[in-house]
């Protein structure tokens, strides 16, 4: 298991501590189906909380994650145990802002290059916004695989799905390139402000 590494670049701050594991039983969904997920392109507001682990060639770390999506922006909160190394990433169109707390806020109009610099490894945030809900980014070609698809040099695999408001949503996701491996476990999805029961 990867241990969160509180790097200086992550700064300090405090966010509500997220549970490391869900105590609510998960109702498993059907195996992944891209076709079944197509209506989710129209989902304007969603959020989830869970655990994220990133492994690169020279580094690895894990964190609690809360990702909030609206039609015109994303907000991603990352924090280690007891809020250590907290960071908030806000993405609106091509403007990204990273807030490490204590007034340490930086921004850029090159989102993925800037996030790559701050995290120490490349994470395709703009594509990940689609991959997380089970869909390829609509503006790029992709190839379907048994557990997901390949797109833009990344392999996206849905290891486990869960039933959320009658939709089969990702619970365990692996995203891999030649340089980076990302693992995500979603504890809870929220659609349009409504929590799954």
The DSSP annotation for 87-104 comes to EEEEEETTEEEEE-STT-
Which distant-in-sequence residues (6+ apart) come within 8 Å of 85 by Cβ?
4, 5, 6, 7, 10, 11, 12, 63, 78, 79
**Least confidently predicted of 44-53, 106-115, 125-134, 151-160:** 106-115
pLDDT score recorded for residue 111? 87
C-alpha distances in angstroms, 21 versus 30, 64, 131, 163, 190? 22, 10, 22, 18, 17
| Nearest residue to 151 via CA among 138, 169, 160, 165 | 138
pTM (two decimals): 0.81
Residues 85-108 pLDDT 10s: 789 999 998 899 999 888 889 999
196: confidence class by pLDDT, cuts 50, 70, 90: low
Topology of domain 8-18+25-69+78-87+122-195, per CATH? outer membrane lipoprotein receptor (LolB), chain A (2.50.20)
Which distant-in-sequence residues (6+ apart) come within 8 Å of 197 by Cβ?
none
The total number of residues shown for the chain amounts to: 197
Token pair for residue 183?
A: 């693992």
């Amino acid at each position: 298991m990867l241990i969160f590494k509180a790097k200086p670049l992550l700064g300090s701050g405090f966010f509500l501590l997220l549970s490391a594991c869900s105590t609510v039983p998960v109702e498993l969904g059907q195996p992944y189906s891209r076709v079944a997920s197509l209506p989710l392109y129209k989902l304007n507001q969603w959020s989830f909380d869970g655990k994220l682990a990133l492994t690169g060639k020279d580094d690895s770390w894990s964190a609690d994650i809360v990702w909030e999506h609206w039609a015109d922006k994303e907000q991603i909160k990352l924090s280690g145990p007891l809020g250590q190394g907290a960071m908030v990433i806000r993405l609106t169109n091509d403007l990204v802002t990273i807030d490490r707390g204590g007034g340490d806020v930086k921004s850029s109009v090159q989102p993925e290059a800037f996030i790559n610099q701050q995290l120490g490894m490349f994470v395709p945030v703009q594509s990940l916004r689609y991959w997380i809900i089970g869909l390829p980014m609509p503006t790029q070609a992709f190839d379907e695989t048994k557990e997901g698809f390949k797109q833009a040099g990344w392999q996206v695999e849905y290891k486990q799905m869960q039933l959320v408001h009658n939709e089969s949503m990702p619970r365990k996701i692996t995203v891999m390139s030649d340089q980076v491996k990302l693992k995500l476990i979603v504890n809870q999805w929220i659609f349009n402000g409504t929590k799954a029961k």
